[in-house]
Amino acid sequence: MAPLAFEAQADQSRLRLAYTAEIASGALTELQDLAIEAEIKLKEGYSMLAAVGAGVTKNANHCFGFYQQLKHAPVEFISEAESQLSLAAVLRKSDIQPLVKSVHTQLFQAQKRVAVALCGKGNIGSSWLSLFKEQKSELEKRRGMSFNLVAVIDSQTYWFDEDGIDEQQVLTRYEDEAIEYQGDIWLKRLAALQGYDEAWC
């Protein structure tokens, strides 16, 4: 009878198996019938919280969100299924309804798409591009958003691409891609973007 979660504690020669209350007694009986040379105990007073879905343990955003929401919870151990279908946490008995809600919100809220425009590509702009490249992935995980650089604006020219601009190529390709502008045409194009939830400058 396969457990929903387990933890192997090699230093204590102990294996902890987690079952729902409905089948825990049956699992205990089955283990005892195997006549294993080990002390087998049934411990109650725990709760289990799991994220279930195809490839959930391979999804970096879901894993990050799951662990983040549990960082202050009374967690005994967390188990990842070999099937990659579930990520389960066993906690000391507590009111987990608020935790269930926060985990669900973190994992399954619709991810916002944010269009980003960089004003200026001088020293400050170049430094920002380097930081954006380094921190983009982590920022997207924390915010639950997707950030796309869609415009780079200089004093007289701008490069605009609603599908996104590779931040690594801004400095090398800007002169070839940028066009002259007058007034606030780039701002109007940014405001009229389709497929994005927000636009940041």
Give Cβ neighbours of residue 74 (< 8 Å, ≥ 6 apart). Answer: 91, 92, 94
Superfamily of domain 5-108, CATH level 4:
ACT domain (3.30.70.260)
Chain centroid, CA 163 distance in Å:
23
| pLDDT > 90? residue 72 | no
Express each pLDDT in 142-158 by its tens digit: 777 888 999 999 989 99
* CATH 3.40.50.720 is the classification of domain 112-200: yes
- How far is the C-alpha of 121 from the C-alpha of 74, rounded, in Å? 48
- How far is the C-alpha of 188 from the C-alpha of 190, rounded, in Å? 5
pTM: 0.52
Residue matched to tokens 């990842």? 80
pLDDT band at 58 (very low <50, low <70, confident <90, very high): confident
Closest CA to 14 of 50, 39, 31: 39
pLDDT band at 36 (very low <50, low <70, confident <90, very high): confident
Give the mean model confidence (pLDDT) for residues 75-84. 87
- How far is the C-alpha of 138 from the C-alpha of 61, rounded, in Å? 9
- How far is the C-alpha of 83 from the C-alpha of 57, rounded, in Å? 9
pLDDT at 11: 87
Express each pLDDT in 91-148 by its tens digit: 998 788 888 888 887 776 656 788 999 998 888 888 999 999 888 888 887 777 888 9
Express each pLDDT in 37-50 by its tens digit: 888 888 888 989 88
Query: Which residue ranges make up each domain of the chain?
Result: 5-108, 112-200
Q: What is the mean pLDDT of the chain?
A: 85
| Fold agreement between 5-108 and 112-200 | no
pLDDT band at 201 (very low <50, low <70, confident <90, very high): confident
- How far is the C-alpha of 74 from the C-alpha of 21, rounded, in Å? 19
